[in-house]
């Protein structure tokens, strides 16, 4: 019985001791719930609570999950009684029996246990702290009847039992064997409604969260795991749809950059080493067309380059043509043709626009200046001496 404010132990986890008693009995009082027709024990509106969970017909115990009436339980244990009867002043919804004092059921006690340490440890309200022990009782036989079948305690019956005082919540009545036998015979002749007591008490009890936790655990494999298994599929679909345009864009970008950055890469190529006695020769750009003629003489001046740029192109450049990377053999052939071309030829192909010619000329001029600097740098000798050696 896992109820907030009660002892969180299963009834079978308690160290019960065999209990031997006579056939005598004791009648104790309990409060009935005002919202039920069945004379169940009082059910609290919320947990934790001071309302004792006794008689505990769910487990057949008395004084285990609550610490009410510790002196009554100790007296029952020391008197070696066997039967524990429960009486109440009916306060349920059946107005015909309202305020009647009746006996509704009994427990046949067969085990006992000292639960004082458990009560002190887990309960907020306990009355056994000043006692040496706190006895809990457990039955091997439990029986409760309906309010219509309950045994009515009239003043005449109480006088016959030897009890002439007013009945209160602390009342306990000892009965002899003959009275106990008659009371047992009457209750056993009525229909057992203990199961209805248990179900009605559970229905009216506050929600402790146990059912929700059980439902979550039971439904986890049926609902939770399937939901988790379906989520990655939706995520994969979204990921694939998102990555498709990215892959196409990433595939197109390198081609665009290759076209745009192609000439710039050629500008950073290292200049060939110039040997003494040889004039620097310009390397052709990485285009499918031939560059402007470069002779073995000195580099073209800025005036000649400007005059070449001012010449209009005879034909427009085809839009569908794309430059191809020159091969090693083509470069050699173009270098040879560049050396063999006459010095006065300053023409350019008709399919080259002004922008392409400007880029080629700028490239040649930069390459020529770099070669001249590299050729003049390592020599410190007099220019006149170098000319004489060359002749």
**Can you tell me the mean pLDDT for 326-341?**
48
* CB-count burial class (<10 Å; 0-12, 13-18, 19+) for 142: buried
Confidence of residue 61 (pLDDT cuts 50, 70, 90): very high
- Contacts with 47 (C-beta within 8 Å, 6 or more apart), sequence order: 3, 4, 5, 206, 208
Q: Where are the domains of the chain?
A: 11-210, 259-315+324-382
**Can you tell me the mean pLDDT for 306-320?**
50
- Contacts with 375 (C-beta within 8 Å, 6 or more apart), sequence order: 274, 280
Residue 188 has pLDDT above 50, yes or no: yes
Length of the chain equals 391
- Contacts with 236 (C-beta within 8 Å, 6 or more apart), sequence order: none
* CB-count burial class (<10 Å; 0-12, 13-18, 19+) for 258: exposed
In this predicted model, what pLDDT tens digit does every residue of 348-365 receive, in sequence order? 444 445 555 555 555 655
Helix (H, G, I), strand (E, B) or coil at 314: coil
Report which DSSP code applies to 179: H
Q: How many CB atoms lie within 10 A of CB 271?
A: 18
**Pair 35, 93: CB distance under 8 Å:** yes
* CB-count burial class (<10 Å; 0-12, 13-18, 19+) for 36: buried
In this predicted model, what pLDDT tens digit does every residue of 100-158 receive, in sequence order? 999 999 999 999 999 999 999 999 888 888 889 999 999 999 999 999 999 999 999 99
In this predicted model, what pLDDT tens digit does every residue of 191-223 receive, in sequence order? 999 999 999 999 999 987 654 444 444 443 433
**Bigger pLDDT: 123 vs 331:** 123
**Bigger pLDDT: 6 vs 68:** 68
Q: Cis peptide before 55, with omega less than 30 degrees from 0?
A: yes
DSSP one-letter string for 213-244? HHHHHHHIIIIIHHHHHHHHHHHHHHHHHHHH
Say which range, 194-203, 315-324, 382-391, has the weakest mean pLDDT: 382-391
Per the confidence metrics, is the pTM higher than 0.85? no
| CA 354 to each of CA 344, 350, 359, 390: distance values in angstroms, whole numbers, following the listed order | 20, 10, 9, 39
**Pair 280, 372: CB distance under 8 Å:** yes
Report the candidate in 60, 73, 72 with the shortest Cα–Cα distance to residue 106.
Answer: 60
| CA 125 to each of CA 6, 64, 263: distance values in angstroms, whole numbers, following the listed order | 10, 13, 92
Confidence of residue 342 (pLDDT cuts 50, 70, 90): very low
**Can you tell me the mean pLDDT for 63-77?**
94
Q: State residue 230's pLDDT score.
A: 41
Which of 106-115, 265-274, 293-302 is most confident?
106-115
Distance of CA 157 to the CA centre of its chain: 66
- Contacts with 107 (C-beta within 8 Å, 6 or more apart), sequence order: 55, 60, 62, 83, 84, 86, 137, 139, 141, 142
Say which range, 21-25, 55-59, 177-181, 299-303, has the weakest mean pLDDT: 299-303
Q: State residue 322's pLDDT score.
A: 52
| Spatial separation of the C-alpha atoms in residues 145 and 197, rounded to whole Å | 9
**Pair 52, 211: CB distance under 8 Å:** no
Question: Which tokens go with 248?
Answer: 């196409």
């Amino acid at each position: 019985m896992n109820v907030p404010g009660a002892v969180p132990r299963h009834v079978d986890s308690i160290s019960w001791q065999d209990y031997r008693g006579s056939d005598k009995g004791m009648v104790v009082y309990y409060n009935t719930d005002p919202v039920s027709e069945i004379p169940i024990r009082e059910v609290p509106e919320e947990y934790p609570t001071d309302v004792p969970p006794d008689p505990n017909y769910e487990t057949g115990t008395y004084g285990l999950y609550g610490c009410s009436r510790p002196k009554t339980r100790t007296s029952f244990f020391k008197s070696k009684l066997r039967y524990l009867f429960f009486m109440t002043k009916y306060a349920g919804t059946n107005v015909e029996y309202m305020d009647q004092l009746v006996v509704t059921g009994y427990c046949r006690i067969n085990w006992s246990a000292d639960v004082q340490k458990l009560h002190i440890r887990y309960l907020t309200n306990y009355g056994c702290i000043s006692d040496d022990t706190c006895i809990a009782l457990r039955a091997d036989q439990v029986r409760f009847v309906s309010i219509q079948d309950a045994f009515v305690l009239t003043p005449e019956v109480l006088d016959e039992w030897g009890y002439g005082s007013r009945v209160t919540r602390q009342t306990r009545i000892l009965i002899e064997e003959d009275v106990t036998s008659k009371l047992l015979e009457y209750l056993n002749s009525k229909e057992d409604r203990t199961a209805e007591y248990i179900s009605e008490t559970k229905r009216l009890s506050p929600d402790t969260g146990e059912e929700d936790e059980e439902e979550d655990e039971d439904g986890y494999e049926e609902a939770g795991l399937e939901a988790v298994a379906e989520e990655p599929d939706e995520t994969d679909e979204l990921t694939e749809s998102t990555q498709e345009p990215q892959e196409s864009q990433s595939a197109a970008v390198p081609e665009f950059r290759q076209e745009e950055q192609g000439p710039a890469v050629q500008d950073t190529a290292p200049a060939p080493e110039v040997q003494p006695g040889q004039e620097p020769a310009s390397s052709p750009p990485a285009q499918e067309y031939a560059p402007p003629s470069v002779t073995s003489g000195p580099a073209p001046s800025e005036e000649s380059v400007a005059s070449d740029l001012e010449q209009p192109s005879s034909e427009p450049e085809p839009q569908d043509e794309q430059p191809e990377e020159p091969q090693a053999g083509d470069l050699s052939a173009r270098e040879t043709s560049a050396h063999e071309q006459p010095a006065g030829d300053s023409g350019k192909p008709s399919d080259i626009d002004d922008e392409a010619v400007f880029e080629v000329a700028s490239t040649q001029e930069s390459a020529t200046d770099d070669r001249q600097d590299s050729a003049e740098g390592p020599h410190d000798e007099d220019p006149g001496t170098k000319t004489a050696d060359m002749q």
